[in-house]
């Protein structure tokens, strides 16, 4: 049994892209929690040692080596220093705007993108961020605050209601297209499984909007309701780089904020070089903010 479970873990790690994503979308669910497959290796190793089974021990080494080859580099600290532009993205959720906005303002970011804004909480964010971020726009439930001038701010139609925007940030080194997006939520329901249809349709429209941006430097940030490994985000991940993957340290899990187990908040880049990526402390939201600095 130990050897069989070890082989199953290895198969999930190596062949997760081959799992059919049919009714219930089991493949998407596995891919979002793929790093946690490694958590099964230690108890399997202990079981093999207790049983003194050489076969089981060799079998357990397979998922251990496979996990290390896939995710070992993620654990390394790849953060550098410097950067021409620092961005922060945060799904503010039900966080109290007062306490939540202060660490964002103190982050030193040049640009802040917020998701899940409401008519009730926008005035508080505008008030707290006004001094440090004189340029800002709110479109639907997303907003952008910037120390640099903004132009060509407009909604990105990914759904029937507005959950994404684009803007051109004017920097001393030229324009940068910045997108802020909040993709539709996903759910796990007994009768339906992992429901991702709305999100998957929205990400195709979002990727198309990014592709059509005239600026060669592009930054896409927000709440994607999916991990880097989720095949549903392939329209974005196949053409843009995850700042956390390139210049982060560890997995940078963001949700749920109290005890994060998956990274669904991202900063993706194209035409710029990520220098560092990190996760900010909790703010009262059920998501943790994410940040990245890039060279232009």
CATH of residue 234: 3.60.10.10
User: What is the Cα gyration radius of the chain?
Assistant: 20
For residues 56 and 133, state if they share a domain: no
Nearest to 90 by CA among 18, 31, 131, 142: 142
pLDDT at 4: 86
- Cβ neighbours, 10 Å, residue 158: 24
pTM assigned to the model: 0.94
Task: Burial-class residue 19 by CB neighbours within 10 Å (0-12, 13-18, 19+).
Answer: middle
In a domain, 80, yes or no: no
pLDDT at 192: 64
* Boundary-marking domain end, from 35, 56, 75: 75
**Which residues have a Cβ under 8 Å from the Cβ of 225 and sit 6 or more positions away?**
183, 184, 185, 186, 199, 264
For residues 70 and 106, state if they share a domain: no
For residues 68 and 176, state if they share a domain: no
pLDDT at 25: 78
pLDDT at 40: 85
What are the Cα distances from residue 61, in Å, to 1, 7, 64?
15, 10, 5
Phi, psi of 188 (to 5 degrees): -115, 110
For residues 40 and 89, state if they share a domain: no
The tens-digit pLDDT sequence of the chain (296 residues) is: 888 888 889 898 998 888 887 777 777 888 999 999 988 888 877 777 777 778 777 788 898 999 999 999 999 999 999 899 999 999 999 788 878 888 898 888 999 999 999 999 999 999 999 999 999 999 999 999 999 999 999 999 999 889 999 999 999 999 999 999 999 998 877 656 678 889 999 999 999 999 999 999 999 999 999 999 999 999 999 999 999 999 999 999 999 999 999 999 999 999 999 999 999 999 999 999 999 999 99
Report the domain count for the chain.
2
CA 61 to chain centre: 30
* Boundary-marking domain end, from 75, 106, 128: 75
Q: How many angstroms separate the CA atoms of 202 and 218, rounded?
A: 19
For residue 224, give its domain range: 85-295
The residue count for the chain: 296
In a domain, 283, yes or no: yes
For residues 271 and 168, state if they share a domain: yes
């Amino acid at each position: 049994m130990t050897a069989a479970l070890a082989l199953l873990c290895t198969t999930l790690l190596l062949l997760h892209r081959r799992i059919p994503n049919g009714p219930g979308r089991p493949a998407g669910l596995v891919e979002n929690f793929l790093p946690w497959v490694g958590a099964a290796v230690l108890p399997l190793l202990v079981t093999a040692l207790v049983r003194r089974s050489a076969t089981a021990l060799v079998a357990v080494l397979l998922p251990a080596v496979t996990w290390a080859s896939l995710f070992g580099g993620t654990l390394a600290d790849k953060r550098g220093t410097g950067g021409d532009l620092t961005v922060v993205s945060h799904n503010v959720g039900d966080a109290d705007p007062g306490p939540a906005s202060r660490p964002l303002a103190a982050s030193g970011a040049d640009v802040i993108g917020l998701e899940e804004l409401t008519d009730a909480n926008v005035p508080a964010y505008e008030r707290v961020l006004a001094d440090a971020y004189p340029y800002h726009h709110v479109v639907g439930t997303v907003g952008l605050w910037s120390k640099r001038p903004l132009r060509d701010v407009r909604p990105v139609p990914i759904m029937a209601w507005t959950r994404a925007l684009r803007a051109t940030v004017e920097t001393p080194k030229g324009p940068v297209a910045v997108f802020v997006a909040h993709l539709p939520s996903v759910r796990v329901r007994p009768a339906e499984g992992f429901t991702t249809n709305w999100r998957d349709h929205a990400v195709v429209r979002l990727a198309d909007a990014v592709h059509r941006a005239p600026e060669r430097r592009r930054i896409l940030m927000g709440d994607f309701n999916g991990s880097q490994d989720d095949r549903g985000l392939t329209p974005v991940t196949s053409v843009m780089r995850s700042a956390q993957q390139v210049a982060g340290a560890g997995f940078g899990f963001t949700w749920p904020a109290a005890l994060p187990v998956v990274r669904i908040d991202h900063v993706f880049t194209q035409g710029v070089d990520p220098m560092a990526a990190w996760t900010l402390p909790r703010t009262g939201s059920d998501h943790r903010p994410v940040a990245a600095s890039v060279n232009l």
